[in-house]
Structure formats: C-alpha cells, structure tokens
C-alpha cells in the first residue's frame, strides 16, 4: 500500500504532533508542505482537503482526509497499536487526553496564524502586543500543566508509559522555545519535555529538522 500523504508545514506544532506519532509507530508518510505563513491553507485545492484551512491532514489512498492532530493520532494508535499511546485503563486514558487537550484544545488554537493575523490585521495589535498574547496563552497552559505534573514520579506525564500527553507537552514546549518564551517557572514540564525531545522519533519530527525550516 502507498504511504499516506501528510499535509503539513515545517513550523506547525499540530503537524509536529502527528509526525512524532508516525515516527514512534515506525510509519511512513509523504509530507506535502502547505505554507501557512503565506496563505497556502486558503488555496481551493487544499480547502477541498481541509475546509478548516489548517494542517495537518492525513490522506490515505482512496480515502477522505483525516484532520485534527489528536483524532489522527488516536486513529494511528487504533490501527497500529504498538507502542500504545494511551494508557490501558479508562481513567488513565481520560487523564492523558485531558493533559493533551490542555495543549491542543485550550492553548494552541489561540496562537495559530489565523488568530495572530486577526490580532494584527483586524484588531491592529502591534508586534510586541501580539507576542505578549502568544506568550500569555502559552505560559497559561504550562502553568496549569506544571500544577498537574509537579511531584509525579515520571519519567513521563503518565508515569512509565509515554503517551499522547507527552507528545502534546513536548511539542508545546518546543514551540515555546522557538518563540523565546521563558520556561524556568515550569521545571517539571520542562524535564519531561526535554526527555521526550531527546528521543529520536521526537528529534526527527522537530520543526527545525523539516524541509523549509530556516538553516540554524
């Protein structure tokens, strides 16, 4: 079977999440870049793939596109169970999903290009104000995660098993670092994220390792 197409963008944290899951499971995908910094998400051809004008989207041969990084990751987890990315118990799964959603549902949507563009283009925020917005919401999620994670035995959010929660935490921390956000107030979150980002499946998926990323 042909490898699926992953519509993504080097800097996209939601795509980063899916790349990590693919790598952890040893799955291939052919990534097609949609330049969301230059409006390619609004090309009619891509909007036919995802009417939300956002990446990632995963297209398997002969199938409609799957969108929403967490839905894609759970689909991959169900179709390719090893290694599992959710805990074995209902309670554990609810906790892991809650941590993941703190990033993917509560924080990340507030800092994506469509929101940043609205803040500057429609509401007239200048760059320092817009950056303050981004830092505020990124740090708000980290403060809540820190409260949840401090004192846990580790090495991962949910203990011995690396889960969806670690994927969301680590990609959020990597994004915050790229934005220059100070993370010293969040030592427990940072420790887990750095542990994860040092793993090859995370490192290979990092935005700065993707085609189109600026040379370091």
Ligand X SMILES: N[C@@H](CCC(=O)N[C@@H](CS)C(=O)NCC(=O)O)C(=O)O
Stretch that binds ligand X, among 10-18, 77-85, 139-147, 208-216 (CB under 6 A): 10-18
In this structure, what token pair is assigned to residue 83?
A: 């290694």
Contact 7, 14 (CB under 8 A): no
Residue among 6, 24, 36, 85 that touches ligand X (CB under 6 A): 36
Contact 55, 104 (CB under 8 A): no
* Residue 29 interacts with ligand X (CB under 6 A): yes or no: no
| In the complex, minimum distance from the CB of residue 104 to ligand X, in angstroms, rounded to a whole number | 5
Restricted to residues 95-124, the positions that interact with ligand X (CB under 6 A) are 104, 112-114
Q: Which is nearer to ligand X, 36 or 162 (CB)?
A: 36
* Residue 189 interacts with ligand X (CB under 6 A): yes or no: no
**Could you give phi then psi for residue 34, rounded to 5 degrees?**
-115, 110
Residue among 6, 20, 41, 165 that touches ligand X (CB under 6 A): 41
* Residue 130 interacts with ligand X (CB under 6 A): yes or no: no
Start-to-end CA distance of the chain, whole Å, equals 36
* Residue 49 interacts with ligand X (CB under 6 A): yes or no: no
Return the H-helix or E-strand segment holding 31. Answer: strand 30-33
* Residue 138 interacts with ligand X (CB under 6 A): yes or no: no
**Could you give phi then psi for residue 212, rounded to 5 degrees?**
95, -15
Helix axis angle for 187-197 and 127-149, nearest 10°, is: 90
| In the complex, minimum distance from the CB of residue 148 to ligand X, in angstroms, rounded to a whole number | 20
Can you tell me which residue has the tokens 């939601």?
Answer: 14
Residue among 10, 25, 58, 69 that touches ligand X (CB under 6 A): 69
* Residue 161 interacts with ligand X (CB under 6 A): yes or no: no
Contact 157, 169 (CB under 8 A): yes
Residues lying near ligand X in the complex (CB under 6 A) are found at 12-14, 36, 41, 53-56, 68-70, 104, 112-114
């Amino acid at each position: 079977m042909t490898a699926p197409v992953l519509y993504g963008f080097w800097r996209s944290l939601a795509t980063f999440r899916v790349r990590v899951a693919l790598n952890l499971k040893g799955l291939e995908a052919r990534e097609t870049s949609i330049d969301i910094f230059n409006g390619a998400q609004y090309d009619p051809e891509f909007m036919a793939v995802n009417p939300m004008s956002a990446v990632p989207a995963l297209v398997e041969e002969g199938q409609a596109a799957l969108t929403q990084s967490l839905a894609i990751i759970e689909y991959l987890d169900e179709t390719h169970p090893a290694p599992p990315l959710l805990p074995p118990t209902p309670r554990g799964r609810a906790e892991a999903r809650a941590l993941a959603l703190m990033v993917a549902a509560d924080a990340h949507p507030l800092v994506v290009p469509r929101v940043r563009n609205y803040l500057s283009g429609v509401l007239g925020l200048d760059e320092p104000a817009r950056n303050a917005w981004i830092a505020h919401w990124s740090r708000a999620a980290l403060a809540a995660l820190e409260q949840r994670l401090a004192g846990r035995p580790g090495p991962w959010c949910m203990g011995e098993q690396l889960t969806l929660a670690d994927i969301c935490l680590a990609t959020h921390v990597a994004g915050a670092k790229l934005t220059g956000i100070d993370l010293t107030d969040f030592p427990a979150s940072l420790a887990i994220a750095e542990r994860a980002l040092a793993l090859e499946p995370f490192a290979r998926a990092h935005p700065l390792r993707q085609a189109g990323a600026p040379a370091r």
